[in-house]
Chains A and B, each alone.
Chain A
């Protein structure tokens, strides 16, 4: 019973490089989210999806793109990484935002040099 799985768990990039973080959930959840967590700050929403084929901007979307081609997968892309994107990224999913439990992945630690 995997829940929410994120890959990779760690990555080091140079400024200007691109990469994609993959989030996969096996709970048939409609809602999926990408957050970033920085020291001294609460989790901040980057992008989210309310179903297959849909995406929407969150609180801090600049510099990121997402896609939800399959219901179980939510991809977060960085086209040209910047040092300000050094962070821990968390994916989460839920069956219902109002009452459903929110399940998080284990996080992906990204360092941009």
Chain B
């Protein structure tokens, strides 16, 4: 069964600290892996998208890594800010037609002063 599991479920960190979110997947055949940020009451917004051949991609203070062999990805947030408080969703795409996205349940991150 195609699944995407994220950990931790929730996380609280102090402003300025770094953190790493995890994503494990069993989706096959793999096409790409995406990380989204979803602010409360808003739609998800894309942070990164990585294909099989990419093992790291950055977007500002966000750095995603991908290990396609172990089917694991991580999202590292550097020097966190209050505005980073959100849900971070891992999405894995299979090759094929138009409905091949599997969503994780997200990690709820709260950044505090």
Q: Could you list which residues of chain A lie within 8 angstroms of chain B, going by C-beta atoms?
A: 4, 31, 33, 40-45, 48-50, 56, 58, 90, 92, 97-99, 101-107
Q: Are A56 and B98 in contact (CB under 8 A)?
A: yes
A-side contacts of B49, CB under 8 Å: 99, 101
Q: Is B89 an interface residue (CB 8 A)?
A: yes
Q: Is the Cβ of A107 less than 8 Å from the Cβ of B43?
A: yes
CB distance from B51 to the nearest CB of A (A): 7
Bound-state Cα–Cα, A52 to B47, Å: 28
Could you tell me which B residues sit within 8 Å of A by CB distance? 4, 31-32, 34, 41-46, 49, 51, 89, 91, 93, 95, 97-106
Known: A56-B98, A105-B43. A98 touches B31 (CB 8 A): yes
Q: How far is the CB of A103 from chain B (nearest CB, A)?
A: 8
In contact, A97 and B34 (Cβ under 8 angstroms): no
Q: Are B34 and A102 in contact (CB under 8 A)?
A: yes
Q: Is the CB of A99 within 8 A of B51?
A: yes
Q: Across the interface, do B95 and A102 meet the contact criterion of CB distance under 8 Å?
A: no
| Assembled-state Cα–Cα distance A97/B4 (Å) | 18
For the complex formed, measure the closest distance between the CB of B100 and the CB atoms of chain A, giving whole angstroms. 6
Chain A residues near B97: list those with CB within 8 A.
50, 97
Please indicate the chain A residues that have their CB under 8 angstroms from the CB of B101 in the complex.
45, 97, 102
**What is the bound-complex CA distance between A50 and B100, given in angstroms?**
12
Contact of B98 among A4, A48, A105 (CB under 8 A): A48
Contact A42 B105 (CB under 8 A): yes
Determine the chain A residues whose CB is within 8 A of the CB of B32 once the complex forms.
98-99
CA distance A30 to B24 in the complex (A): 30
Q: Identify 5 new A-B residue pairs, CB closer than 8 A, beyond the known A42-B4, A58-B99, A107-B43.
A: A31-B98, A45-B101, A90-B44, A99-B32, A99-B49
Asked if A102 and B98 make an inter-chain contact with CB atoms under 8 angstroms apart, the answer reads no
Contacts A42-B89, A102-B34: A97 and B100 contacting too (C-beta < 8 A)? Answer: yes
Q: How far is the CA of A38 from the CA of B88 in the complex (A)?
A: 15
Bound-complex Cα distance A44 to B106 (A): 13
The minimal Cβ–Cβ distance linking A105 to chain B, given in whole angstroms, is 5
